[in-house]
Structure 1
Amino acid sequence: MFPTTSGRPVLSVDVVMRREPVTGPMARWQSWRWVLADVLPTGEPFEEAVGAPQPVAAAAQEVQPLLPGAVSVDGAGYWLYPGLRVTLYRDDVEGLFLNLSSPSPCFWVFWRADEAHLLGDEPMAVPQIVTLSYHDAGRWLDAQEKVDQVPAPEAVVDWLRAFVDQHHRAEPKRRQRPASFKTLTDRFGQPARVSTDKAVRGGGGSGPREGGGA
């Protein structure tokens, strides 16, 4: 599914978060922690109109690990958040390309502990956005947000590859500036001044100094 002038390719997904007991020395300060367990595509990619509002995750549903071989942690609980979407943007194709070029292309999920959704007296982890863009994940991490990742299924990687192959254009290499054009600096790192005038002996005129001295 490729974008037209009026739409963008989109994939609907559910996100599974895991609440697991903290072990070891850290358990003295924190009893539980939330981590991303899985991202589950829920259908075929489709096209969404440009400017359509982005959905938010629906109410969490407690579930058991859904996939054979999924990580199972003793004492952990799993909550599924349905109704999120992954959108591919042409103006971020470089970020998609970087993900695709990695050894294990993945989903990234930006999530927050939400005081409006409590488990007992503890805020639950609520996913905000799911992306396949390396650049998105980098911006969120730079902003000190909570970001986790899981490998993307082969079918999703194929969908991503088709989009990147169609829209990614490698940036042309810039011609290296010749060394003769580099700014000259002195030993203190300051711009050096070069003069083509002949040096004048003695700091005076061009003739011999008065007094006949050598």
Structure 2
Amino acid sequence: MAMAAARPSMDVAVVLEREAQPNAWEDWRFRIAEVTRQQDAFGSEPRLLVDDGRIARWLFPALQVALFRDEGEGYYLNLTSGRPVWFVMWRVDDEDPSRASVQAVSLSYNEAGRWLDAQERVDNLPLPVDVTQWLTAYTDEHYRPEPKKRQRPASFVAPDARPGPAGMPEGKE
């Protein structure tokens, strides 16, 4: 039995920034400051990089971005958006709202949409050229958009063939 080829993936690190009292209505504001390729020096555990009392930055290393064939449409949508991006899902700590953590990183527009549908926080940052090329090569090899099918306007369909309220042609109930 032959072994399946390893799934294409890369390890990345995310820098999450927290701003203290950015305005009268917020105690804390978080934003994704950077997504970069993982380096050995980053280690594998999250750590505080800097905290001057107003701005704090945390590094969340060793996050894997893997490519899946069934996410091809999501990669295609990301690439054809005009500005391909990293999608970063993060959460504020339930017990300490001054802390947040990065949960996952994806390149799929559809996966980011599912996260948003689940009420998760998702930010994005532009992809560097080398990652865009990597994603493009994978998408070109594994995804073919379905051709669009033109639907005839209802006014051009015979009245007895038009769908009724339950999706059945009128008069055929």
TM-score (norm 2): 0.79
Deviation at 1:115, TM superposition (A): 5.0
* Structure with bigger gyration radius: 1
Give the conservation status (yes or no) of the 8 Å contact 2:28–2:98.
no
Deviation at 1:25, TM superposition (A): 3.3
Give the conservation status (yes or no) of the 8 Å contact 1:115–1:123.
no
Map 1:144-163 → 2, pairs under 5 A: 144-163=119-138
1:164 aligns with 2:139: yes
* Distance in 2 between residues matched to 1:184 and 1:122, nearest whole Å: 52
Give the conservation status (yes or no) of the 8 Å contact 1:110–1:128.
yes
Gap runs ≥5 in structure 2: none
Distance 1:123 1:59, change over 3 A: farther
Paired amino acid for 2:149:
R
What is residue 32 of structure 1 aligned with on the other side? Answer: 28
Instruction: Map Cα deviations across residues 98-148 of structure 1 (whole Å, 9 max, x no partner).
Output: 0000121000111112358xxxx5452111110000001101111111111
Instruction: Map Cα deviations across residues 50-92 of structure 1 (whole Å, 9 max, x no partner).
Output: xxxxxxx94322225xxxxxxxx99311110111011111111
What is residue 37 of structure 2 aligned with on the other side? Answer: 41
Distance 1:174 1:85, change over 3 A: same
Instruction: Point out the more displaced range, 14-23 or 167-176.
Output: 167-176
Give the conservation status (yes or no) of the 8 Å contact 2:161–2:170.
no
* Distance in 1 between residues matched to 2:150 and 2:54, nearest whole Å: 59
Give the conservation status (yes or no) of the 8 Å contact 2:69–2:142.
yes
* Distance in 2 between residues matched to 1:137 and 1:153, nearest whole Å: 19
Deviation at 1:6, TM superposition (A): 3.3
Map 1:1-214 → 2, pairs under 5 A: 5-26=4-25, 30-42=26-38, 58-63=44-49, 75-115=54-94, 122-174=97-149, 176=151, 179-180=157-158, 182-183=161-162, 192-193=170-171
1:97 aligned counterpart, secondary structure: helix
TM-score (norm 1): 0.65
Deviation at 1:176, TM superposition (A): 3.9
Instruction: Map Cα deviations across residues 27-67 of structure 1 (whole Å, 9 max, x no partner).
Output: xxx32122111111126xxxxxxxxxxxxx94322225xxx
Give the conservation status (yes or no) of the 8 Å contact 1:183–1:191.
yes
1:23 aligned counterpart, secondary structure: strand
Gap runs ≥5 in structure 1: 44-56, 65-72, 195-214
RMSD: 3.0
Aligned pair count? 160
